[in-house]
Amino acid sequence: MVETLNEEVHLRDSGFGRPWPRHGLRLLYWFANECISFDEENNMLSECDPAEGDFGFHYFENRSDQNGKKLLNETDFPYYVVGNLNVKKYPGSEDLPDYVSADKYTDEHDSNTDRIIVSLDEEWWGAKRFHQVYVTQHQDRSNYDPDATHRISRGLLKIIRSMSLEDFLKKMAYFPPTPDINDRPQSPDRVRPDLTVVSVSSSDSSESETPTTQNNDIRIQIVDDDPPAQNPSGNLPSTGGFWETFCTIL
């Protein structure tokens, strides 16, 4: 029996349209806001024409699987399915907004696997209305996963309509993966932590200097855990002191 999702938390916990970059949640947001409206009696009126192939809608047979079971219940109304982003097979899908089809060429996480299925009453008082709305995902290339198939209630569709796309995706915990800091490449110039680097800038050096005298950067590495040699006399050497040597280098 197909479960009915009535609240945001139910949809989030179902896992439909996740993880990123699957497009099912964005597809559902589009459907709730652009392809359906409600009249005063809470009927779901169709703002598109699935029977004419709008937005890539096409007929869904609801045929029996290898075990003789059908995905959805028998009904007097025909089923139509939307969500396949293959423009060559379903040209109408090209009319879906960019935020739905942005990742249609992405193979990661089966990003073209999610679908919406509707049962359509085409002769309802001169108008067309949706009788039921379902979300599902492919189990393989030919079949849908019955355990991932859910009916979307009118109340949940209205909740989705009341939110911005950004807020809706946040509440559904739909985020791009965060890069792992451990995966970042290490810089080949990274200095060992036990070394202190003194850098002398030569930004004022003259372009006329010869290659032997022009130096862009001088690095002096002092190992912290290796103390300098002691002078037995206790006095500074008469020549070749540190600063004299340093100045000679400059």
Residue of 183, 171, 156 whose CA lies nearest to 18 = 171
For 111, the 3-state DSSP assignment is coil
In DSSP notation, 6-38 reads -SHHHHHHHTTT-STT--HHHHHHHHHHHSEEE
Cα gap 45→66, rounded to integer Å: 35
What HEC string does 37-93 produce? EECCCCCEEECCCHHHCHHHCEEECCCECCCCCECCCCCCCCEEEECCCCCCCCHHH
pLDDT at 166: 97
Cα gap 99→49, rounded to integer Å: 21
Q: Which two tokens stand for residue 141?
A: 């290339």
- The C-alpha angle with vertex 144 and arms to 59 and 146, in degrees rounded to 5, equals 120
pLDDT at 206: 37
Handedness of CA 56, 61, 65, 70 (dihedral sign): positive
Q: Name residues of the chain where pLDDT drops below 50.
A: 187-239, 242-250
Compute the CA torsion angle 132, 50, 100, 10 (nearest 10 deg).
0
pLDDT at 69: 93
Helix (H) or strand (E) holding 136: strand 127-137
Cα gap 190→66, rounded to integer Å: 60
Q: Please state, in angstroms and as integers, the Cα–Cα distance from residue 212 to each residue in 133, 201, 208, 215, 219, following that order.
A: 79, 16, 11, 8, 17
Cα gap 210→194, rounded to integer Å: 35
Half-sphere exposure of 203 (CA within 13 A, CB side): 2
pLDDT at 142: 86
Could you tell me how many residues make up the chain? Answer: 250
pLDDT at 108: 56
Residue of 191, 181, 245 whose CA lies nearest to 221 = 191
Give per-residue burial for 36-46: e unless 16+ CB within 10 Å, then b.
Answer: beeeeeebbeb
